[in-house]
Amino acid sequence: MSARDVFLVLVAFAGMFIGSLLPQWAETLAPFPRLMLMCMLFLGFLAVGTEALRTVMRSRLGMVIRLTAIRLILLPVLCFIAFRFIVPEFALAAFLIGSSPVGVMAGMFSLMVHADTALILVANITTSLLLPLALPIMLFAVSTAVDFLHLGPMNLPAHLSLGGMTVSLCVTILVPFVLANLTRAKLPRLTGIILDCRYPFTIMNIGFTNVAIFSQYGELLHQNPALIPSALTAALALSILMTVAALPTARRMEPRQGLAFVICYGTINNILIMILSMEFFTITEALVAAAYLVPVYMLLLYYRHYARKVGIQDHEPPMRP
């Protein structure tokens, strides 16, 4: 594990710890998770212009379509079914996290372990841009199927507005996408400067975002410490389930592409799901999404192991988007 890996993980966990000790900051920091998420999305979209997106789509269209469809349609259903039978109280949380788009951190992890970074960055764009349409449709479809099969309610909140969810997702995702493309087109010099500073900004963003997120739950966790192990266990189980689900496909692919598939399954945009859960769902879904921050950074260790196992060497230059 490189020094950069260690530093990133330490910053992530330090932010969680500090935030949980500072519940008095919760109200002040409440707007920041969404704002920082939009900044991270902006950086991710800035790294891949529409020209690169078209290039990858032309050369690997079938792979991109397959990855996007699995991530937005099949994976959430798999997570929901598995948790519905094992721990039904977390089934909705599992569905939402399984529906999450590929995370912004996936691109950085890919560069660290020399996976197919171009594929990951394009998957981040396609899954993110399609989520405002895919998630409400999938929620409606799965809820209807559960009712039709008389499997019991899906436990969706009574006040849930699928239209409101779509608007919220569109604002959070499309605004950074438009700004990133305008910046690339009109300010190429600024684009280069921002991308050169992406790593230190990402580190600061991770630390501050984790403080802001966990301050929201600090008082609740102090009053009900039993919530911590249950939410963390569910998040860890989900990370294992989603990563294992990628392996059958990944093992049939070229090593760097296979590793990219594995990263795309496990490294998700859980912050987006946490914000969505706080706005439209319950504390259970929000806590599991927040707890997924732990396996997100732990998975980097597995990606290092997988890369060595399939013969991707650390000294080899990473593939650039």
Q: Contact, 296 vs 181, CB < 8 A?
A: no
CA distance from start to end of the chain: 23
User: Over pLDDT 90: what percentage of the chain?
Assistant: 36
CA distance 162 to 168: 10
Q: Closest Cα partner for 169 from 41, 43, 289?
A: 41
Q: Which amino acid is at 24?
A: Q
Tokens matching residue 94: 């599992």
pLDDT tens-digit series, residues 65-107: 999 999 999 999 999 999 998 999 999 999 999 999 998 889 8
SS3 assignment, position 310: coil
CA distances from 120 to 37, 76, 276 (A): 18, 19, 23
Band of residue 159 on the pLDDT scale cut at 50, 70, 90:
confident
Q: Tell me what pLDDT residue 320 has.
A: 42
Task: Measure the CA–CA gap between 6 and 298, rounded to whole angstroms.
Answer: 10
Residue bearing tokens 């990370």? 239
Q: What is the pTM of this model?
A: 0.86
Residue partners of 116: CB distance under 8 A and separation at least 6: 110, 256, 257, 259, 260, 319
Instruction: Give the integer Cα–Cα distance in Å for 90 and 75.
Output: 16
- Would you call 254 exposed, middle or buried from its count of C-beta atoms within 10 A (0-12, 13-18, 19+)? exposed
Q: How far apart are CA 252 and CA 258, in angstroms?
A: 7
Please provide the CATH number assigned to the domain covering 40-182+223-309.
Answer: 1.20.1530.20
pLDDT digits (tens, 9 = 90+) for 234-281: 999 999 999 999 999 999 999 999 999 999 999 999 889 988 988 888
In a 10 Å sphere around its CB, with 0-12 CB exposed, 13-18 middle and 19+ buried, how is residue 214 labelled?
buried
Query: Structure tokens of 118?
Result: 């171009």
Q: pLDDT (tens digit, 9 = 90+) per residue, 29-73?
A: 888 888 988 888 888 888 776 666 677 777 888 889 999 999 999
- Look-up: residue for tokens 């039709």? 148
pLDDT for 317 beyond 60: no
